[in-house]
């Protein structure tokens, strides 16, 4: 195992934090995930997108007993307006339901309310068909207290006490270390469940994948493509990000960070086909993700932007795909995976995109516009 897998310090620290998790903490949640027929995802912001991206892979898998239904409270098929209201129907449908939550602070309102509602249902109905799991950096929090009573808690360290700085390549930006860390950990857990591996193999999968991720990041962050991307982002242009399914969750993770910076330039960041997404303008930039490069709606989005004289940047695993051929800029992240098995492409895309807002902040600093992290954090807290 390499202790330094990337030139970016925050990536090395994420690996270190994951491998520092004790087996006795990881094993109970891993077994709960294995046993669950239904997984309910709880979180907010990037933590929720990270959780959704990983869990979507096990929802799409087709391997007999490994199949699981994955829901969030925002899904049209969620059987209730609250977790308490939904629990009765979930208990009727499934033998084992896991409420899986992701919250670095342990104080996020959305998952806390879900946990409180489910705890009340379990106590009122004396139900044995539910459990809770939490990934957090803070084990002394209301959410951790409830989760430990009705399930298990995994502590994954985040940024810790590192002070705000302009050294984003070392510290990450805001919650990057925790949010990207849970994405890789959960994705490896999903793959281990799919392959029916022991919990020890989760650590091995993470170590192997970090070597690949580190190489992919280092091969791209100083490339001509990345430099062109930062050039475009520095201009007064709107940014669109899009993908379908899991790719959409990764687009949202990236969009949140870029929005915090682009907003100071007076620009907007949109998720393609969102409720407030306008028509593009000449010069706008669109970042599109598709593992196959053949996802029809994504290809149509590329065609639309090009009609408006915009620039399309694509991330795909297939260099010969339609999307790759249509894109003005592209990064290829090759992956060999069997159909209907968990993919590593999406996690890799999230990591390769993660230095983009940092590179933009550094570029603006070179121009004399320094964006201290406390300003970015304030804007985040005021808008999330």
Q: For residue range 248-304, what is the model confidence (pLDDT) as tens digits? A: 999 999 999 999 888 888 899 999 987 788 888 889 999 999 999 999 999 999 999
C-beta of residue 254 within 8 angstroms of C-beta of residue 271: no
379 pLDDT band, cuts 50/70/90, is: very low
Q: Please, are residues 51 and 189 in contact by the beta-carbon 8 Å criterion?
A: no
For the segment 147-168, the average pLDDT, to the nearest whole number, is 81
pLDDT of residue 280: 86
Question: Mean pLDDT across the chain, nearest whole number?
Answer: 91
- Does residue 165 register a pLDDT over 90? no
pLDDT at 219 over 70: yes
Q: Nearest to residue 344, comparing CAs of 220, 223, 246, 203?
A: 246
Which residue shows structure tokens 């705000």? 164
Q: Residue 374 pLDDT > 60, yes or no?
A: no
Q: What's the chain's Rg over C-alpha atoms?
A: 20
Instruction: Taking residues 297-316, report their average pLDDT.
Output: 96
* Tens-digit pLDDT profile for residues 9-31: 999 999 999 999 999 999 999 99
DSSP class of residue 113 equals H
Secondary structure of residue 328 in the 3-state scheme: coil
- Confidence (pLDDT) at 81: 94
Q: What is the pTM of this model?
A: 0.94
| pLDDT score at 161 | 61
pLDDT band at 112 (very low <50, low <70, confident <90, very high): very high
Q: Which of 47-56, 329-338, 370-379 has the highest mean pLDDT?
A: 47-56
The model's confidence at residue 380, banded by pLDDT at 50, 70 and 90, is: very low
């Amino acid at each position: 195992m390499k202790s330094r897998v990337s030139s970016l310090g925050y990536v090395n620290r994420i690996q270190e934090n994951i491998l520092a998790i004790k087996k006795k903490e990881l094993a109970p949640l891993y077994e709960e995930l294995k046993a669950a027929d239904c997984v309910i995802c709880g979180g907010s912001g990037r933590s929720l997108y990270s959780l959704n991206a990983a869990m979507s892979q096990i929802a799409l898998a087709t391997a007999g007993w490994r199949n699981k239904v994955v829901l969030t409270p925002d899904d049209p098929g969620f059987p209730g307006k609250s977790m308490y209201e939904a629990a009765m129907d979930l208990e009727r449908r499934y033998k084992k339901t896991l409420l899986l939550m992701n919250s670095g602070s342990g104080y996020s309102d959305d998952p806390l309310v879900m946990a409180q509602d489910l705890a009340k249902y379990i106590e009122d109905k004396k139900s044995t068909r539910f459990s809770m799991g939490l990934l957090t950096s803070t084990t002394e929090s209301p959410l951790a207290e409830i989760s430990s009573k009705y399930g298990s808690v995994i502590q994954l360290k985040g940024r810790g006490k590192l002070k705000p700085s302009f050294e984003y390549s070392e510290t990450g930006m805001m919650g990057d270390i925790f949010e990207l860390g849970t994405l890789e950990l959960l994705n490896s857990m999903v793959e281990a469940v799919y392959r029916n591996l022991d919990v020890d193999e989760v650590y091995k999968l993470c170590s192997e994948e970090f070597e690949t991720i580190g190489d992919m990041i280092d091969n791209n962050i100083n490339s001509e493509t990345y430099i062109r991307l930062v050039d475009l982002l520095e201009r007064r242009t709107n940014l669109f990000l899009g993908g379908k399914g899991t790719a959409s969750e990764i687009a949202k993770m990236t969009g949140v960070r870029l929005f915090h910076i682009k907003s100071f330039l007076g620009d907007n960041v949109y998720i393609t086909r969102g409720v407030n997404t306008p028509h593009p303008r000449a010069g706008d930039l669109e970042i599109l993700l598709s593992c196959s490069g053949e996802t029809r709606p994504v290809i149509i989005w590329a065609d639309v932007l090009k009609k408006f004289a915009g620039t399309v940047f694509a991330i795909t695993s297939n260099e010969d795909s339609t999307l790759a051929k249509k894109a003005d800029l592209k990064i290829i992240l090759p992956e060999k995976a069997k159909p209907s098995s968990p993919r590593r492409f999406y996690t890799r895309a999230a990591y390769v995109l993660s230095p983009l807002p940092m590179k933009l902040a550094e570029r603006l600093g070179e121009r004399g516009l320094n964006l201290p992290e406390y300003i970015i954090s304030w804007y985040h807290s005021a808008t999330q």
